[in-house]
Amino acid sequence: MGAPSSINHFRSISLPSRLTHPSCTNTEKKINELRASGKLVGSFESIQSGLVGLAELHVFVNEFVQAPKTQQALSHHQNGTLLEAALEWSIGFLDTCSTLIDMIMLMKENVNALQMALRRKGSNSAVASKIAAYLCFRKMAKKVVTKSLRKLKHLEKKICSFVFVDIDHHVSLVSKVLIETNALTISLFKSILIFVSAKPKTDKGVQLISKLLSKRTSTHKHDQVVLNEVETIELTLMLLHKNVRNGETKDIDVEMTLRRLQILDVGLEGLKDGLDHLFRRLIHSRVSLLNILVC
């Protein structure tokens, strides 16, 4: 699943080749790296890599913000307009990151409950109940995703519409760094939200999962459907739920489902760790901005 290219919606910005603070060199390099890899987000591995890179970028930006000249620029630019805007944007990012962490934790809880139910090999009704609970949670999660995407779009418009009027080179540089960093943050958050919402193409997807469960393979190109880990388990559970209700469950189906749940569980754990780390970086950045405000 391709990542949304939020960066393309922002004004085209190129940071000056000769930057005034050592941390800007690292910032520019990291921005270029994240831009280049932005379209590769389509699996847990690529998302985790993106989160690590984004957290590093926020560390570099925070170092830049803490530089005396940057603090002065933020404090005096249009009577602190840029600083106030940056603080407002930071709240939006913290809110989205917190929402994602909560959703991932709930998803893990549901996955773990499913794993326990399948391993116990209890009654069909008990297994069916846990699968139904997971699928119900997924519907709720998709509503949360839709709401979060709407908030990000609103935040994106605010950042895009921000106008700074200043001939000072350093103020211009600070603005560009913040806008670039925010664009990349929004882009990755959108990618994660779309990834975990996972709206698989049911018809071809179910056919593919059915073939995987029965260990049959197809050489026909039209049967080749690319699914991410979340889509795969959702389709697997839909098929298993149908078989359980019809009394057609096979041990091999349960084993395959357990393996896929384990893969999903590991991926969710890595995603949560990455989001936790980024959340701490976002907190540090906000604290630095607040310190400028009270100085």
- Candidates 70, 92, 74; CA nearest to 83 is 74
pLDDT at site 229: 84
Q: Mean pLDDT per segment of 10 residues, for the chain of length 295 residues?
A: 44 47 76 78 86 95 88 74 89 97 95 90 78 90 93 92 68 84 94 82 49 44 59 88 78 87 94 97 95 83
Q: Are 188 and 51 in contact (CB under 8 A)?
A: yes
Helix (H) or strand (E) holding 190: helix 169-197
pLDDT of residue 216: 39
- Based on the structure, what is the number of domains in the chain? 1
Question: What is the reported pLDDT for 220?
Answer: 41
The amino acid occupying position 166 is D
- Report d(CA 225, CA 218) in Å as an integer: 11
Residues in the chain: 295
Flag whether 243 is in a domain.
Answer: no
| pLDDT value of residue 39 | 59
Q: Has residue 261 been placed in a domain?
A: no
Q: Which pLDDT score, from 0 to 100, does residue 171 have?
A: 75
Residue 214 within any structural domain of the chain: no
Q: Which two tokens stand for residue 251?
A: 């041990």
Amino acid (1-letter code) at residue 258: L
Domain of 179 in residue numbering reads as: 21-199+274-294
Does some domain include residue 153? yes
Instruction: Report pLDDT for 1.
Output: 44
Helix, strand, or coil (residue 14): coil
User: CB burial class (10 A; 0-12, 13-18, 19+) of residue 229?
Assistant: buried
Res 214: pLDDT? 47
Instruction: Examine residue 150 and state whether it is found in any structural domain, yes or no.
Output: yes
Residue 179 lies in a domain: yes
Determine the pLDDT at residue 146: 94
Predicted structure pTM score: 0.82
Residue 76: the pLDDT is: 73
Examine residue 185 and state whether it is found in any structural domain, yes or no: yes
Whether 90 is in a domain gets the answer yes
